[in-house]
Structures are given as C-alpha cells and as structure tokens.
Chain A
Amino acid sequence: MVTKIYIPRDSSALAVGAEKVALAIAAEAKHRGLDVEIIRNGSRGLYWLETMVEVATGQGRVAYGPVKAKDVASLFDADFIHGKAHALSLGLTEEIEWLKKQQRLTFARVGITDPISIADYIAHDGYKGLKNALKLSGAEIVKAVTDSGLRGRGGAAFPTGIKWNTVLGCESEQKYIVCNADEGDSGTYSDRMIMEGDPFVLIEGMTIAGVAVGATQGYIYIRSEYPHALAVLNEAIDAANQAGYLGDDILGSGKTFRLEARRAAGAYVCGEETSLLESLEGKRGLVRFKPPLPAIEGLFGKPTVVNNVISLATVPIILDKGAQFYADYGMGRSRGTLPIQLAGNLKHNGLVELAFGATLRELLYDYGGGSASGRPIRAVQVGGPLGAYLPENQFDTPLDYEEFAKLWAVLGHGGIVAFDDSVDMAKMARYAFEFCAVESCGKCTPCRIGSTRGVEVIDKITSGKDHAKNIQLVRDLSDTMLNGSLCALGGMTPYPVLSALNHFPKDFGLSSEAK
C-alpha cells in the first residue's frame, strides 16, 4: 500500500529546510524500497514545528516536527511511515491542542489538502459555494455576503457586501474583480498561506464575486517578494481553467470569469487600493483622490471590486454554509473569524484563526507561549507598520474592530508582533517615520516631507536637543500627517509614533508622569 506523506511547500517551511527534508525522505524511501507518495501541502501554521511532516495512517494523520534532513533516516528506522513513535512525534495532527482549539473557517483546508489538486479541493467541500452562487441572482449573492457581516480583512474593515453592492449597481460593459495580495505589513502572512496552501479558495471567492457583480475579468496583484505563492497560484489558475471552473461558460452556466495573477514590484504603498489600481494599469503607484470610489471608477476607469485575499477567500464558506452560519461567530459588529498571525518575539508563532473576541493576552501567552527570548513582553504592535503599539496594561483587550478603535489602535490585517523588554520604543517610532519616508508615493506633502522631518525630530529628542520643544513638535507633525495625508500611509504613521510616545515616555527621555 502506498503511504501518503505530507511535507509543506509553504515559504516559511521552505525557509527552514522543507525542500531538503522532502528530498531526503524521497531518497530514503527509494533506498529502502518503500512505496510512498509525497504530497507538498500548505502549512498547518504551527511554524515553530516546521518542517512538520505528516503521515496518513488508519487512525488519521500523524505529525512529526520540527524535522531536519538529518532526522530523516532515524524517522524511517522508527517506522514513522506507520505512525510509530519517534523523538519528534507530535501525535495525531487533529489532536494537537494548539490547532484543536481554533475555529478554522477560512483556513479549513490549509495544510490538509494538496494545494494544486482540484479533485482534493472538491473532496474537501471546495466549489460548493460557487455551485450555490450560480443558482442565485447577483443581488442574492451580494445579500448573503452583506448578511454574513464580513468586513474587509485587509485592514480597513469596510463591509464587503456594501462594496459589492455598489459595483453591482453600476451599469458598465466591463467590470473588474481585483484581489489585493500586496501583503506588505510586517507580522502578516495569512494571505501568503492561503495562496500557497489553498489557492482554489481564493479563486472560487473571486469567481463568486465576478458572478455576483457581473465582472468577467479578475486580477490578483501579488507581491514580488512572494515567488513561491505566485508559482502555486499560477498552477492553480491553470488547473481551474482546464477543469472549467474559470474561463468562458463556467460549469455550463454561460457565465465568464477570467483570472490573471500580476506581480507587484516592491512598493508598500501599492497595498493602498487606488495606488494598486494605478500600478495594475502600468503606472507609478501614486494614490488617487477619492471620490470617485474604485467601486464606481476603478481599474481602467471601470467599476471594480478591490478586496483583500482573506475577504475573498472567506466568501466560499459563506455561500456554502449560509450567511447566518458565518455571522454566528464573533462579537459586536465584528462578525465571523479573524486569521491572526503571531510574529516577532514569541515562542510559538503561527496562524491562529478564531472568532473575534479573543484577547491579546490569550494569543500572546496561551497560543504564543510568551516571548521566545524568555524576557517579559513589553510591547506589541498590532496591524502592521501603521498599527499602534500596545503596552502590557492593554493586553486584555478583545480582538474586535471597535474595541481596538476605542484605544486608538487598529486590528488591521490581524498581524501581532511581540517585542521583549530590550526594545527601545523611541527607535521604533523613528523607524515608523523612516519606513514612511522610504515608502511614501510622494503625492501629498504631509507624508512625503513629514516622514523625513519626523526622523529628524525623533533624533533631536533622543539626543536631548530642545527636548520639550521637540516633543511638542512631533505631536504637531503627527497631527498634520493624521489629518492632512491622502491615504493611510501618511495618515496612520502617527499611530505607531504617538502610541510609542504615550505608552513608553521613558524611552523618549520623559518621566512617566509627563505622559
């Protein structure tokens, strides 16, 4: 009997040697005359255990990790292909506590299926959402998405159904669906995991969006820093075209949806939707004035849905199981689940998908296992480089868009970066300005000039020059950037800067009372 062995092709697994492990397992199996089938799956998201190798047994999949190429011979000696014990045994994958406690809806298949096998996708509930959608009118599909409460997972949290409804209501001979896969925020990698681990769910979500609003062409704008994700996506798009799930007359419905993945070119600002559209049109990624909204005048001036990868990849389960099923998860106005990405200085970094409402503390300690360095966690940045830094006394905040807004913080794309007590928060504030200066598109003055002046002012503060005056100056500058910038890059750089200053005044040479 052929034994199925799963070895991730996820970028982060590859970053710690998954390719070498796969080659070693194939060579060792051949050498021993064993009949094995190696499947290159996505990552289950338990990154501290990568490379995590799984073997299919009669009892279910048994996991081993972290496996290095040098461990392979001993795994075979221990008869791991029958799930036998080894020093690296993790037991049945489904029983691993860290995974078992999660509520994986968007990530239901990631790590489980062969990412480029459409048959495997369908065998695990794939394309049920599209099949349901093809029986509905555009308005009914949009209503389901609206009723689910799904809000844009890219960071802005705008209701997805409302955006779709605007595009649906526009009369135009051509409309577009654009997937924003320019996942540039530090501490985030859920888009990458979907594209590498379950690309069909994104393709299905985009196809449903196209059917709903009457768009026949889709583009996935993907970061140039993600070569592996792009390769998997292109393989999956080819497979979907061949199987009749993309192209003309999808599943005999008479509907057309074509899809193309386009490489970005390393500009952070192109994650902003209007800058992204400029870039797709082949121009410099300069932010556009709004209005007009992209939903009305978007790509090439046509009505365009621009959604994040996770938003689109969540649509299939909503159309499969119903709006209410999804809306039953979550709290307040934050419905459904959020794929949270743990990053930075934590012991157990990885992907945790949970209903909204879990606290930062649960994520940092119950899932994250505390700091990797063993020192106290001093600050966490949530929501990427434009997100606020939160101190320890805010760790009991539940993950909810409105609860975070009350603290003048953001959930963003769900990335959490932890820092231990060796962090210098004045340096992090300086970095926030520096990053803004490097990445500014240059269209508006507060962002283009303010970011550079910000670096200089922080340098004066840390060197003690006209201290009180410069503290006031950085606040004034932040106020100008917040209120005067054209997009979130300049407009939100003050979040990390001022939260660092307000919560960690000592690092700026202030006594804590001066706060």
Chain B
Amino acid sequence: MSDLQTTQEVSAAVIDALIVKHQQQPGALLPLLHAIQDTVGYVPQSCYASISKALSLSIAEVHGVVTFYHHFRTHQPGRHVMQICRAESCQAMGSEALEAHAKACLNVDYHQTTADGAITLEPVYCLGNCALSPSVMVDDEIYGRVSPSELDALIAEAKVSEVKA
C-alpha cells in the first residue's frame, strides 16, 4: 500500500473530472470508484484526498471502502485480468485442476501479474455461468466449459492482444 503511482499526474485531472460528475449522486462513493477504476484501471491512493474532500469523508473512510470490496484494486493490473471461478458448481466440474493449470502456465499465484505484464490472475466466487462450469472471465468476457487446452488458448490470445477487448 505504500508505493507512489507513476501515472499519478496523468490520472489526477481525469479523476477530478469524475469526482465533479459523481459527487452530487446519493451514495456517490461506489459509483465514483467504479468510474475511476473503469477509466484508470485501478483506484490510485493519490486520489483519496480529493475524494474525501469532495464527499466530506475522512481519508480512512475512503481507504476502508476501497479495500473492503474485492473488485477495487489499488495498483495497476496487467493488460488483461483473468478471473477463474472457485465456487462449488465449478469445483464439481474440475475448476481446481484449471486453477492449478493457470497458475503453472502463467507462473503466478492469485492476485499477481505475469512477468510480461499481460495478465493478472484473480479468483472469483461465481460468475452466474453455473450451468456451463467451469467458468473463466477475461476482462468483461465470460467463457464456459473451459478445458485446460481452452485456457491455454485464452492465455495465448491475451498475451498477444495489447488492449482490453
């Protein structure tokens, strides 16, 4: 939680505009954090002060909300985020083997990014695709009945594509 973000200066103006856009909304913090993460890729800690000022919250409250929710991240992820479902339905269809396969192929554990910066691997607890388990999500695209070889194809595709689909 301590490092200074390199994209800080670029993001600041963008984030300030988002704050202005959302601050009048009732219960504005979550919609605002979503907007920031959708735009910047994560929620930089450098913006906590301006958020807290605009929404009349303490910095601790902003930090508390960001860290409470699994969806929000405080660091830039890889170019793609790959989520593997760990929930029961997917376990019944072999997700454990898929998780092990992904970790081995990418040489990372959960919450880590591959050395080439292409893929951040995350666990997820249900994607609502339980009829076609096991499930994987890459950015906003969902894949069902994913076999290890299909996962290899998804990884290969993510490695070569530069930006989010």
Contacts and interface: CB of A to CB of B under 8 A. Distances in A.
Interface of A: 11-12, 14-16, 47-48, 50, 183-189, 191-192, 223-228, 262-268, 279-285, 300, 341-345, 349-351, 372, 381, 385, 415, 417-420, 423, 428, 431, 435, 438-439, 441
Nearest to B144: A15
Interface of B: 26-31, 33-34, 55, 61, 64-65, 68-72, 87-93, 124-133, 135, 137, 140-145
A345 B137 CA distance: 20
B126 A12 contact: no
Contacts of B144: 12, 15-16
Contacts of B90: 186
B101 to A, nearest CB: 18
A266 B69 contact: yes
A415 B30 contact: no
29 contacts: A12-B128, A12-B129, A12-B132, A15-B132, A16-B144, A48-B131, A184-B125, A186-B88, A186-B125, A188-B128, A188-B130, A225-B124, A228-B142, A262-B27, A262-B30, A263-B30, A265-B69, A266-B124, A267-B69, A279-B30, A284-B64, A341-B130, A343-B92, A343-B131, A344-B133, A345-B93, A349-B130, A418-B92, A420-B92
A187 B68 contact: no
B69 A285 contact: yes
A341 B128 CA distance: 10
Contact of B71 (A188, A192, A266, A418): A266
B31 A344 contact: no
A130 B140 CA distance: 34
Contacts of A341: 130-131
Nearest to B126: A186
A372 B92 CA distance: 10
Contacts of B69: 265-267, 285
A227 B128 CA distance: 11
Residue from A226, A228, A263, A420 whose CB has the most chain B CB atoms within 10 Å:
A263
Contacts of A184: 125-126
Contacts of B131: 12, 47-48, 189, 341-343, 349-351
Contacts of A227: 140
Contacts of B65: 282-284
Contacts of B137: 225
A85 to B, nearest CB: 27
Contacts of B71: 224, 264-267
A287 B90 CA distance: 28
Contacts of A50: 132
Contacts, number: 152
A199 to B, nearest CB: 15
B158 to A, nearest CB: 16
B39 to A, nearest CB: 14
B92 A11 contact: no
Contacts of B88: 186-187, 344, 381, 385, 417, 428, 431
Nearest to A15: B144
A474 B132 CA distance: 34
Given A15-B142, A263-B34, A415 B68 contact: no
A225 B137 CA distance: 9
B142 A281 contact: no
A228 B128 CA distance: 11
A11 B55 contact: no
Nearest to B127: A225
B81 to A, nearest CB: 12
A12 B143 CA distance: 8
A265 B92 contact: no
A228 B144 CA distance: 15
Contacts of B125: 184, 186, 268, 385, 435, 438-439
Contact of A265 (B34, B61, B124, B127): B34
Given A282-B27, A283-B65, A417 B92 contact: yes
B145 A16 contact: yes
A351 B34 CA distance: 31
A207 B132 CA distance: 33
Given A350-B131, A418-B92, A283 B26 contact: no
